[in-house]
Amino acid sequence: MSPRACSAAVDKKPEHTAEASIAQSAHLLAPVFDIQRFSVHDGPGIRTLVFFKGCPLRCAWCSNPESQGGGPQLMLYPEKCIGCHMCIGVCESGAAFVASDIVRYDRSLCSACGLCVEACPADARKMAGRLMHVDQVMVEIEKDWLFYKNSGGGATFGGGEATLYPAFVDALAAGCKSKGVHTAVETCGFGEWGVLERATRHIDLVLYDIKHMDSEVHRSFCGQGNESILANLLRLTRLQRSEVIVRFPVLPGLNDDDVHIHQLAHFVGTLGDGVKRVELLAYHRFGLKKYERLQREYELKDMGVPDDEHMAAIKEVIESHGVLVKLR
C-alpha cells in the first residue's frame, strides 16, 4: 500500500477547526512502525514518539531504514534462530528455506504476510509496520498524559515522514489539542506545500530538517532535490502558526565545510523570528544493525563521527550570523 493511499487526500476547501478534523478521522488509517515512550530529545518535556512508515527521501545515513518503505517489512534476528524450521512450514511464498543446514530468507519472494513472525517461538523475526486508526494511536498517547502534564511534554510525530499522511496527522494533532497535549512533528519538508500545510495546522512545534543547501548534493545523498524543502520552510515560517526549530545533521565530509555552514546560517538568518533556533545533530551509526536485519548495505559505514570540538566550531559559525544554536 502506498503512503498516499493510507490517508485521505488534502481537501480543496478544508475545515480548519480541531472539531472538524476529529469528526472526519474515523475512517483514516496510516502505517506505524513504532511508538516510543519517555523521549526527551524530540520536543519539550517527556514525550511519546509515533513513528510513521514511508518517506519520500532515501538519506544514506538514515538511522531508521525500516521507515522508508510504506508497507510492512520483515526484520531478521538470525542470532535468535533456534533452527526449529517453523517459519519454513508456514511460508506460502517459499521465501523461507534451508540451505547448508541454515534457515535462509529470499526477500524478493516475501509477501510480508507475517505468518512466519507469528510462528517463530524465538522472536527471530519481527514485522516492522502495521496499519492503525487515529483512535488507536490516541489511546497510546493518552497513556502517558500524567508525564506530559508534569514535564510540559506531549506527542511527537516522526518516521519516516509523518506528513505523508496529512489528514491522519491533522486529526491526531487535533485530538491531542482537544485534550491539552502539546504536539510536535519531525519533517524533511519535501513535497507539496498544501500537504505540509494541512499536516501542521494543529501542530505546536515543527522540527524541520535541512540536510544540504545545494540541491544536486542533496539529490545525490537523499534521492531528491531540496527546492521544495527550502520553499516550504519559508512558507511555514511566514505563517507564524507553529514554533519552528531547524535541525541540521552534521555529516563529516558531506555538509560540514565552512562554505556550506555559512550558506546554511545565512539562509536561516533570513527567516528571522520564524525559526526559534538551529539544533545540530552529530552523525552516528546507531541504525547500522537495522540495515543488516533488512539485508541492506549501509553506504556510510566508513564515515567518521564528528567530535565535540568540531561541533562547537560549527555552532560558533552559525551563531556569528545571529542565529541561536543548540548542540544535540
Distances (CA, A) of 159 to 13, 30, 149: 28, 12, 25
* Residue 84 belongs to domain with CATH number: 3.30.70.20
Say if residue 79 is in the same domain as residue 58.
no
Say if residue 175 is in the same domain as residue 279.
yes
Question: Per-residue pLDDT for the chain (328 aa), expressed as one digit of tens each?
Answer: 444 444 433 333 445 676 666 666 668 999 999 999 999 999 999 999 999 999 999 999 999 999 999 999 999 999 999 999 999 999 999 999 999 888 999 999 999 999 999 999 999 999 999 999 999 999 999 999 999 999 999 999 999 999 999 999 999 999 999 999 999 999 999 999 999 999 999 999 999 999 999 999 999 999 999 999 999 999 999 999 999 999 999 999 999 999 999 999 999 999 999 999 999 999 999 899 999 999 999 999 889 999 999 999 999 999 999 999 999 8
pTM (2 d.p.): 0.90
Q: Which of 127, 147, 170 is the last residue of a domain?
A: 127
**Counted domains in the chain:** 2
Say if residue 81 is in the same domain as residue 193.
no
Say if residue 200 is in the same domain as residue 297.
yes
pLDDT in tens, 130-181: 999 999 999 999 999 999 999 999 999 999 999 999 999 999 999 999 999 9
The 3-class SS string of 226-273 reads: CHHHHHHHHHHHHHCCCEEEEEEEECCCCCCCHHHHHHHHHHHHHCHH
Q: Which domain holds residue 100?
A: 73-127
Say if residue 183 is in the same domain as residue 251.
yes
Say if residue 16 is in the same domain as residue 96.
no
Say if residue 320 is in the same domain as residue 262.
yes
pLDDT in tens, 252-279: 999 999 999 999 999 999 999 999 999 9
Say if residue 96 is in the same domain as residue 167.
no
Say if residue 28 is in the same domain as residue 156.
yes
d(CA 234, CA 136): 34
Say if residue 55 is in the same domain as residue 91.
no
d(CA 46, CA 41): 8
Say if residue 103 is in the same domain as residue 214.
no
